[in-house]
Structure 1
Amino acid sequence: MANKGVTIYFVRHGETYLNYYGRMQGWSNAPLTDHGIEDVRRCGRGLNDVRFNAVYTSDLTRTQETASLILEENGQIGSLNMVQMPEFREVFFGSMEGMYGSEAYEKVRDYLGYDTKKEMFRNTDVAERMNAFRAVDPEGHAEDFMMFWSRVEKGLIKLIDKHRDTGETILVVAHGGTIRYILENLIPELRNPKGLLNASVSVARYEDGLYHLEKYNDVSHFTD
């Protein structure tokens, strides 16, 4: 007999001011822009036929604000508790938090020994660049890939252990890097996917021991 499975909706938070200014944003909190708020509301309206059984966010304000707006638009605000999970934070950039991304990646490019950032991005993966961020952080605070992933994986295991085979539909509002690596871990055929858009939806369904990707980086459901 087939089990009930579980369906997980992963939503990246809406655009923040640090996103808009092109600055590094890992553990730093920044409010959503007006454009970010409107995109999240459009996303929520597009999900108004989805009934969530549980809602999880990271403990950073941009994911909590995003989740509240989605629940408000799809009519479930007040009926569900949002559970904060620090495990689902974005990667920490240490002393480079808030730095212009162009400046921070110049440091990484120089450390990795490439002539141009375009060449660096073509020849390295996210994990290599994450490791380089830690190496070039003079304070030694930035997370490398294993520090980041071991933290995120603990949260993922908690989530799956609780909801696997319940037949439930779960909303997880988190960050671009966090969601991307969770899905790469769950979906073997997802290799080097594009970065996620703000307020985009990715859906993974677990059934009979396997994960199936139903949507990735989707904004087609946005309604005006």
Structure 2
Amino acid sequence: METKFDLYLIRHGETYLNRYKKMQGWADSPLTEEGKAVAIETGKRLADVQFDRVYTSDSGRTVETAELILQQNNDNHNLVINRRKAFRESFFGSFEGEYSEVAFRKIAEDNACSSTKELFQKHTLEDVMNFIKKSDPFHHAENYYELWGRIEKGLNEIVSTSQNLNENILLVTHGVIIRNIISKFSKEFDKGIEIKNSSVSVLEYSSNIFKVISFNQ
């Protein structure tokens, strides 16, 4: 029997570190009140989608967002939330907690770019991930190989544990994770675009491939 499902990729709601425009990878902070409200609105938009499985990263901000979304759902109030490190945000090393503008200014300058925009225009997403590790003074940040290795492990788990045709699967995760997943399966994707908090992207899995149906809605 062919495995087929729709994967709803949702970024977590706005957190305090998001609000203050600071790097937030493995660091975690609570959702703001506005972040909670927008997550609830996303839940209402998806209220009639019958989810069969739910995954999040192991960060509190994704779990809280998933709970708020599921509370609005008409069918799925008792689903188990499967927390997976595979879907944790990219680790930014010593840039964790730094102002994003400061961190990316250094990363851009280290690679002969005048701005973050130019950095993403001139280089692939894979290159940028590798540059982050290189620019981190401790070189503890994840590079592309390390990051995609665990994302792929998580996606493989979702695929391999599929039991029914036409499942709807909810995955609440992070901006960089979504950016990498979408970029992997769509050539039309603008890798520099901001992934909005509580935005929804949908991928269809069939014939052993993922296809992007909608993005950042």
Taking structure 1 as the reference length, what is the TM-score of the superposition? 0.89
User: What secondary structure sits across from 1:24 in the alignment?
Assistant: coil
Corresponding residue of 1:197: 196
Deviates more, 1:133-142 or 1:92-101: 133-142
Q: Which amino acid aligns with 1:46?
A: R
Question: Structure 1 residues 118 and 57 mapped into 2: Cα distance closer, same or farther (>3 Å)?
Answer: closer
Question: Structure 1 residues 50 and 142 mapped into 2: Cα distance closer, same or farther (>3 Å)?
Answer: same
Conservation of the 8 A alpha-carbon contact between 2:51 and 2:76? no
Question: Structure 1 residues 129 and 4 mapped into 2: Cα distance closer, same or farther (>3 Å)?
Answer: closer
Corresponding residue of 2:114: 115
RMSD over aligned Cα atoms: 1.9
Unpaired segments of 5 or more residues in structure 1?
219-224
Corresponding residue of 1:135: 134
Deviates more, 1:117-126 or 1:132-141: 117-126
How much identity, in percent, do the aligned residues show? Answer: 38
Instruction: After TM superposition, give the deviation of residue 149 of structure 1 in Å.
Output: 0.8
Conservation of the 8 A alpha-carbon contact between 1:5 and 1:164? no
Corresponding residue of 2:30: 31
Corresponding residue of 1:221: none
Q: Which runs of 4+ in 1 moved over 6 A?
A: none
Corresponding residue of 1:150: 149
CA–CA distance in 1 between the matches of 2:188 and 2:198?
Answer: 20
Instruction: After TM superposition, give the deviation of residue 145 of structure 1 in Å.
Output: 1.0
User: What secondary structure sits across from 1:180 in the alignment?
Assistant: helix
Query: Alignment length, in residue pairs?
Result: 216
CA–CA distance in 1 between the matches of 2:206 and 2:32?
Answer: 37
Q: Which amino acid aligns with 1:24?
A: M
Question: Any residues of structure 2 matched to 1:18-167 within 5 Å, and which?
Answer: 18-76=17-75, 78-163=77-162, 166-167=165-166
User: What secondary structure sits across from 2:6 in the alignment?
Assistant: strand
Instruction: After TM superposition, give the deviation of residue 4 of structure 1 in Å.
Output: 6.0
CA–CA distance in 2 between the matches of 1:205 and 1:114?
Answer: 36
Question: Structure 1 residues 154 and 77 mapped into 2: Cα distance closer, same or farther (>3 Å)?
Answer: same
Instruction: After TM superposition, give the deviation of residue 191 of structure 1 in Å.
Output: 3.5
Instruction: After TM superposition, give the deviation of residue 195 of structure 1 in Å.
Output: 3.0
For 1:97-118, what per-residue CA distance to the aligned partner results, in whole angstroms no more than 9, with x for missing partners?
0000111012102210223444
Conservation of the 8 A alpha-carbon contact between 2:50 and 2:76? no
User: What secondary structure sits across from 2:161 in the alignment?
Assistant: helix
Conservation of the 8 A alpha-carbon contact between 2:3 and 2:162? no
CA–CA distance in 1 between the matches of 2:64 and 2:205?
Answer: 27
Instruction: After TM superposition, give the deviation of residue 54 of structure 1 in Å.
Output: 0.7
User: What secondary structure sits across from 1:179 in the alignment?
Assistant: helix
1:9 aligns with 2:11: no
Taking structure 2 as the reference length, what is the TM-score of the superposition? 0.92
Deviates more, 1:52-61 or 1:151-160: 151-160
Instruction: After TM superposition, give the deviation of residue 181 of structure 1 in Å.
Output: 1.5
Instruction: After TM superposition, give the deviation of residue 86 of structure 1 in Å.
Output: 0.2
Instruction: After TM superposition, give the deviation of residue 166 of structure 1 in Å.
Output: 3.1
Unpaired segments of 5 or more residues in structure 2?
none
User: What secondary structure sits across from 1:103 in the alignment?
Assistant: helix
Conservation of the 8 A alpha-carbon contact between 1:156 and 1:182? no
